[in-house]
Amino acid sequence: MTEAAGQCRVPGFKAGMKVLITGAMGQLAQEFQRTLPLSGHTVQVPSERSLDITDLSSIRSALSDLHPDVVINCAAYNNVDKAETDFETAYGVNAIGPENLAASCREFKALFVHYSSDYVFDGGKEGFYTEADETNPINKYGETKRSGEIRVMNAAPQYLIFRLSWVFGKGRQNFLYKLSEWAGKNPVLKVVSDQVSVPTYTEDIVATTMLAIERGARGLYHLTNSGYASRYEVARYFLEKTGANNIILPVTSDRFPSPAKRPYFSAMSTGRLSAELGCSIPDWKNAIDRYVQNVQGDTQ
Ligand SMILES: NC(=O)c1ccc[n+]([C@@H]2O[C@H](COP(=O)([O-])OP(=O)(O)OC[C@H]3O[C@@H](n4cnc5c(N)ncnc54)[C@H](OP(=O)(O)O)[C@@H]3O)[C@@H](O)[C@H]2O)c1
């Protein structure tokens, strides 16, 4: 992966595809809706109510009406703690739903793009996870995401699966937004330093996904910003960038007991994807810099 080859965030994809997005209101879906029309694509975004991915008939009806070239599944059950007790619902959305979509894409001859998670790994490797590493989820959410991967691979011959980590973008359901809220209320924040992965910006996920589609990539890839960081390091970097002057203290996860266990080090290598696309994915600090600029621009 060389800088000379350029960064994957430079969009270069072809215009003119019909792209159906599921999970309309989610943070990744919102970024696709913002970006794709600027590149000349037709974006089809049925509401989550009209396209419930756990309902095969609603998917078949949408695909038969709209005939998309590509279906991008941004719908997910992402409440990691709640999935411990609400397993059936989480499994429906994260495993059965993607299988329904993959099977329908096969029937209607569309490319299927799906997202999974670094939480399919147990976090004990002490190195960047590659696509060749064994999965071993340590919580129910991770189990549902791994089952989704397997079901998609078995159902659709033409698929792209990207494993993401610590996704952030426009919206409230992400760590950076929550940090801003906590920082506004508490002068001292305690943030865990024993969970390490990679914050990944929706802007970069969209650009890299579209580049992979254009280049004809198929299969399972890791897609994150570059580098790695603990939650504590992310909090310090982000809040300093926003000009907040809170004191941020590192603590271990046992200070905040939660229903679901989290992996210790689940950062993934993007080497396979970067080599395939001939470009590098920007560093997580660069991604946070752009996010802060964009959020500040929106509020001015
Ligand atoms: N967020 C992260 O940190 C993270 C980390 C690793 C991987 N990922 C993966 O990245 C992808 C995008 O995540 P994201 O952060 O954009 O998710 P998100 O903001 O939570 O959006 C998911 C959307 O899917 C909707 N949804 C839930 N059940 C549905 C159903 N049965 N049919 C249709 N829509 C449904 C949700 O609606 P409701 O809100 O009404 O339920 C929500 O609007 C997901 O596959 C996720 O698992 C995310």
Minimal-distance CA residue to ligand 1 atom 29 = 75
Minimal-distance CA residue to ligand 1 atom 46 = 76
Q: Is the per-residue pLDDT at 272 higher than 80?
A: yes
Q: Is the per-residue pLDDT at 6 higher than 50?
A: yes
CA distances from residue 260 to 49, 53, 100, 148, 254 in whole angstroms, order as listed? 29, 25, 27, 19, 12
Question: Does a structural domain hold residue 206?
Answer: yes
Give the burial class of 59: count Cβ atoms within 10 A of its Cβ; 0-12 exposed, 13-18 middle, 19 or more buried. buried
Does 31 contact ligand 1 (Cβ within 6 A)?
no
pLDDT reported for residue 7:
59
Q: 46 C-alpha to center of ligand 1: Å?
A: 15
Confidence of residue 4 (pLDDT cuts 50, 70, 90): very low
Q: Is the per-residue pLDDT at 15 higher than 90?
A: no
Q: Is the per-residue pLDDT at 5 higher than 50?
A: no
pLDDT reported for residue 273:
97
Instruction: Please choose, from the candidates 284, 259, 177, 276, the residue with its C-alpha nearest in 3D space to the C-alpha of residue 220.
Output: 276
Which domain range does residue 28 map to? 3-171+201-225+268-282
CA–CA separation, 229 and 285 (whole Å): 10
pLDDT reported for residue 157:
83
Q: Work out the mean pLDDT of the chain and round it to a whole number.
A: 93
Q: 116 C-alpha to center of ligand 1: Å?
A: 10
Question: Does a structural domain hold residue 248?
Answer: no
Q: Is the per-residue pLDDT at 1 higher than 60?
A: no
Q: 230 C-alpha to center of ligand 1: Å?
A: 23
CA distances from residue 91 to 123, 139, 263, 285 in whole angstroms, order as listed? 22, 12, 20, 33
Mutate to test the pocket of ligand 1, among 74, 80, 119 (most ligand atoms within 8 A of CB): 74
Longest dimension (CA), the chain: 55
- Average pLDDT in the 137-145 region? 98
Does 166 contact ligand 1 (Cβ within 6 A)?
yes
Question: Does a structural domain hold residue 159?
Answer: yes
pLDDT reported for residue 10:
39
Question: Does a structural domain hold residue 116?
Answer: yes
Q: Is the per-residue pLDDT at 211 higher than 90?
A: yes
Confidence of residue 39 (pLDDT cuts 50, 70, 90): confident
Does 23 contact ligand 1 (Cβ within 6 A)?
yes
CA–CA separation, 201 and 293 (whole Å): 13
Question: Does a structural domain hold residue 83?
Answer: yes
Q: Specify the ligand 1 atom closest to the Cα of 171.
A: 19
Does 27 contact ligand 1 (Cβ within 6 A)?
yes
- Average pLDDT in the 87-102 region? 98
pLDDT reported for residue 299:
66
Does 76 contact ligand 1 (Cβ within 6 A)?
yes
- Average pLDDT in the 138-154 region? 98
State the catalytic residue, choosing from 77, 91, 129, 141: 141
Question: Does a structural domain hold residue 253?
Answer: no
Question: Does a structural domain hold residue 150?
Answer: yes
Q: Is the per-residue pLDDT at 293 higher than 80?
A: yes
The pTM of the full predicted model, rounded to 2 decimals, is 0.94
Q: What is the CATH number of the domain that holds 30?
A: 3.40.50.720
Does 117 contact ligand 1 (Cβ within 6 A)?
yes
Question: Does a structural domain hold residue 300?
Answer: no
Confidence of residue 140 (pLDDT cuts 50, 70, 90): very high
User: Is 141 annotated in the active site?
Assistant: yes
- Average pLDDT in the 196-203 region? 98
- Supply angle C-alpha 135, 139, 144, rounded to 5: 70
pLDDT tens digit string along 247-269? 999 999 999 999 999 999 999 99
Q: Is the per-residue pLDDT at 183 higher than 60?
A: yes
Number of domains in the chain: 1
Mutate to test the pocket of ligand 1, among 167, 221, 224 (most ligand atoms within 8 A of CB): 167
pLDDT reported for residue 11:
46
Does 26 contact ligand 1 (Cβ within 6 A)?
yes
